[in-house]
Chains A and B, each alone.
Chain A
Amino acid sequence: MIERSHHDMGGLPGGKVERGEHDYAEWERRVDALMMLLSGVKGGRKLMTVDELRKNIEAIGPEAYDRMSYYERWVTSITQTMIQRGVITTDELGRKMEQIRARLDDPCRK
């Protein structure tokens, strides 16, 4: 049994603290907005909780967790939650990703 989950790293050596501010990329703003909408804090249907967001972030494997940026973890977790709740299916997601990949690869668009 693992006593300490990977994300629960309080007190472990963490390296240097980067104090600079940084601008958010457009996709990061969108992920944040998506979470606000899905969690119902702006009204409307509540499709997930912040606790599920955290649970599914914690479920990301240690290597991927360390490699991903903050909002990459969010979007991964939001997607997992939507699949768990049946809002989208894995099959729908896979087909949509293929569709978008094909569109981006279309030489007429380059």
Chain B
Amino acid sequence: MPQVTARPQYPTDHPSAPVRFALGERVRVRKTYPLGHIRTPYYIRGHTGVIERLCGNFPVPEELAQMRSGLPAQPLYRVRFLQREVWPDYRGREDDVVEIEIFQHWLEAVKP
């Protein structure tokens, strides 16, 4: 398990799943297309990025949208992706990034 150094930007006291990813760790967004209310954008699924910060633990929107509690909460991270890796025809700077807030259950560890 990676050393968890991230401190939440917005601390909350929800019962929550444990934090799995460390700052700077590489993660892949799960490439899956279920029905329901989903906050993980279509275009980023399957892409690999780096944990930029831990925003905090928040009830799961997929459940909140269906009139349920969304608990236990899930850690929400801001994940940084290289634009040129997300868009094949990207013509901006090499080091341009896009940052997206993604819940932990949508992320998986990348083997180094």
Binding site for B on A (CB under 8 A): 1, 3-5, 8, 10-11, 49, 51-52, 54-55, 58, 84-85
| Closest residue on chain A to residue B36 by CB atoms | A55
Question: Which residues of the other chain, A, contact B66 by a CB distance below 8 angstroms?
Answer: 55
Helix, strand, loop or mixed for chain A's interface?
A: loop
Question: Which residues of the other chain, A, contact B64 by a CB distance below 8 angstroms?
Answer: 49, 51-52
- Across the interface, B41 reaches (CB within 8 A) one of A3, A8, A58, A84, namely A8
| Closest residue on chain A to residue B86 by CB atoms | A11
Helix, strand, loop or mixed for chain B's interface?
A: loop
| Closest residue on chain B to residue A1 by CB atoms | B33
| Pair count A-B, CB < 8 A | 35
User: Known: A3-B33, A51-B37. Contact between A10 and B65, CB under 8 A?
Assistant: no
| Closest residue on chain B to residue A56 by CB atoms | B65
Binding site for A on B (CB under 8 A): 33, 37-38, 41-43, 61, 64-67, 70, 87
Question: Which residues of the other chain, B, contact A4 by a CB distance below 8 angstroms?
Answer: 33, 42
User: Known: A1-B33, A3-B33. Contact between A54 and B41, CB under 8 A?
Assistant: no
- A85 and B67 CA atoms in complex are apart in Å by 9
In the complex, the answer to whether B65 meets A55 with C-beta atoms within 8 Å is yes
- A3 and B41 CA atoms in complex are apart in Å by 11
A46 CB, nearest partner CB in chain B, Å: 11
A80 CB, nearest partner CB in chain B, Å: 12
Question: Which residues of the other chain, A, contact B33 by a CB distance below 8 angstroms?
Answer: 1, 3-4
| Closest residue on chain A to residue B66 by CB atoms | A55
